[in-house]
Chains A and B, each alone.
Chain A
Amino acid sequence: MIQTAVATWTVLGHILPELLLIGIGVLLIGCDLFIPRQRQVLPWLMVIGCITALIMVLGARPVTAFGGMFLVDGYAMVFKTICLGAVILTALSSEPFWQVFGARQGEYYSLLLFSLVGMLLMASAGDLMVLYLGLELMALPVYALVGMHKRDQRTSEAAVKYFLMGAFASALLLFGMSFLYGLTGTTEIGRIAELIVSMQLDANPALLAALGLLLAGLCFKVAVAPFHFWTPDVYEGAPTLVTAFMSVGPKAAGFAIFGRVLLYGLPQLQNHWGPILAVLALLTMAVGNITALCQHSLKRMLAYSSIAHAGYALLGLLAGTDEGMAATVAYLVIYLFMNFGAFAVLMLLAAPGQSREALDACKGLASRHPAIAALMLVFLFSLTGIPPTGGFIGKFYLLRAAFIAGYPLTVVGAVLFSAISAFFYLRVVRLMYMSDADDPVTLTCSPAMGAVLCVCLAGTLGLGLFPGFLLNWIVAALAGN
């Protein structure tokens, strides 16, 4: 009896980062209720908690806990690092906006934390049940976050669209999972791969139907065309902070389950899902980049650009190899810095009370705020993929992985669409540097926001100049499980 109890307690050690974050989430609600005057400490508490969790995640030993349901491996570690990074940046950049949230600050930060726990579970999921629970724990708080400003018509519209599409995608995903369970009799992802080999299911029509449903559900979650149509509306309607968070955190977690299901659960079907993903990746890049050309709102343009970047990130996944996955993860890390940086500049432009989300808001930014304009320049260059920045290195690895895996046409398409994307990214640069301002505005940049911008700049440029460190770390993590 005593031994059982000991085993139960040691197993909790493997989910310590998650437990810590849940504890902090509850604590934040409590702090908000009982010491409302000290609201400004909430983001700092959250940042400290996330950094502690990050140290725990980085120091964790590889282990399989809860009978294969929860995997603490290198794959989980890299994705958890991205998600924690996204939440830390979001919390820091929320700090100057405390007056926007007013009395709902505690809720905002705790929802963010619960969503983070969901993302960590997704990264660690070794079982379809845990994967689904993590996915919902990630998604449900984000639905509420999108609809945070109840008075604003646009946010409730965005929330309802996101909610309906998200719930529909979850149902598709679940139906696919139920087929997988019916065919193999297990929900453990690793066992499913073994059973597909031993039972020779790889040409079974029901398995292909399950694959189709899973792909549709997963593509919804990471906003891959033709399942992307909710993205621009939701990203535009949501508060800019939440949009910045959604475009990096949940997207990375979505790729975590995408890779886990396809590479660890269905590797035998690679000859089926590889070509499908190649077509979807091309379609996504086409839709994202071409539609972004005709946008007048900077926020909506960044939404389409995030669709296009999901297409690039798919290139590594469809290769189906460890190198390909490493390229996708490296790209997601770089994307975290460059995309969050671009959104942080947008947050400064679209400060509360003034809705300057239009492209015209950038006019003449360089003459009034040369530092902010220069930062935006770096982030946009990186999003385009111009050499000294991280975006170039990330795209290079992705294209190499897809080319080695035997998808040369997809690579050519990706390069072409990347060239098209230069047009709308550099249009912003032209407006910033070569136009005169319509109405001179002064932006205020708080210390926390300055820190976010510095971290994003350091990440974007540092990973562009010294990419070997990042890639070696990811390859070692993926191989060492």
Chain B
Amino acid sequence: MIPLSWYMALAVILFCIGVCGFLTRRNVIVMFLSIELMLNGVNLNLVALSHFLDSVRGQAFTLFIITVAAAEAAIGLGIAIALYRSRRSVHVDTINHLQG
């Protein structure tokens, strides 16, 4: 059987890839995908822990996170489309009208 530490290491790696992607990429959609990657790292962590701790709370939590992530995706893509319509771009470097 695969030990818990492997699952957790994978979860941490996924989360860190997500953080790096969020901080380095400049496209709104890719940044959003990076956030999804981070959330999946969390989900993996919770499910693995739930299995090894023999408690269902982690799995219940994961289901809620997946549901909320779907709602978040709907709103995020809606906002990205609104941005694209007004700017013809979803690149972060062009989003610079607000500063001072």
A binds B: yes
Measured as residues with beta carbon below 8 angstroms from the partner, the interface class of chain B is 35 or more
A166-212 contacts to B (CB < 8 Å): 167-168, 171-172, 174-175, 177-179, 181-182, 185-187
- Bound-state Cα–Cα, A290 to B48, Å: 47
Looking at the complex, which one of B61, B82, B100 makes contact with A181 (CB distance below 8 Å)?
B61
A136 touches B71 (CB 8 A): yes
B80 touches A160 (CB 8 A): yes
- Chain A neighbourhood of B17, CB < 8 A: none
In terms of DSSP, what is the predominant structure of the interface of chain B? helix
- Chain B neighbourhood of A391, CB < 8 A: none
Measured as residues with beta carbon below 8 angstroms from the partner, the interface class of chain A is 35 or more
In terms of DSSP, what is the predominant structure of the interface of chain A? helix
A-B contact count (CB 8 A): 125
B72 touches A158 (CB 8 A): no
B53 touches A182 (CB 8 A): yes
A214 close to B (CB within 8 Å): no
Give the residue name and chain of the A residue nearest to B84 (CB): A156
A168 touches B95 (CB 8 A): no
B64 touches A132 (CB 8 A): yes
Give the residue name and chain of the B residue nearest to A167 (CB): B35
Give 1 or 0 for each of B39-70: 1 = CB within 8 Å of chain A CB: 10110011001000101011011001100100
- Chain A neighbourhood of B45, CB < 8 A: 175, 178-179, 182
B18 touches A171 (CB 8 A): yes
A160 touches B65 (CB 8 A): no
Give the residue name and chain of the A residue nearest to B85 (CB): A150
A160 touches B39 (CB 8 A): no
B15 touches A175 (CB 8 A): yes
- Bound-state Cα–Cα, A355 to B45, Å: 49
- Bound-state Cα–Cα, A164 to B52, Å: 33
B residues neighboring A (CB under 8 Å): 8, 11, 15, 18, 22, 28, 31-32, 35, 38-39, 41-42, 45-46, 49, 53, 55, 57-58, 60-61, 64-65, 68, 71-72, 75-76, 78-80, 82-83, 85-87, 95, 97-100
- Additional A-B contacts beyond A132-B64, A133-B68, A232-B98 (15; CB < 8 A): A147-B82, A150-B82, A152-B86, A154-B98, A158-B98, A159-B83, A167-B32, A168-B22, A168-B35, A172-B38, A174-B39, A174-B42, A175-B45, A178-B58, A297-B100
A residues neighboring B (CB under 8 Å): 128-129, 132-133, 136, 140, 143-144, 147, 150-154, 156-161, 163-164, 167-168, 171-172, 174-175, 177-179, 181-182, 185-187, 232-233, 236-237, 295-297, 300
Q: List 12 A-B contacts (CB under 8 A).
A: A156-B79, A161-B98, A163-B79, A164-B32, A167-B72, A171-B38, A171-B39, A174-B39, A175-B45, A181-B46, A182-B45, A187-B57
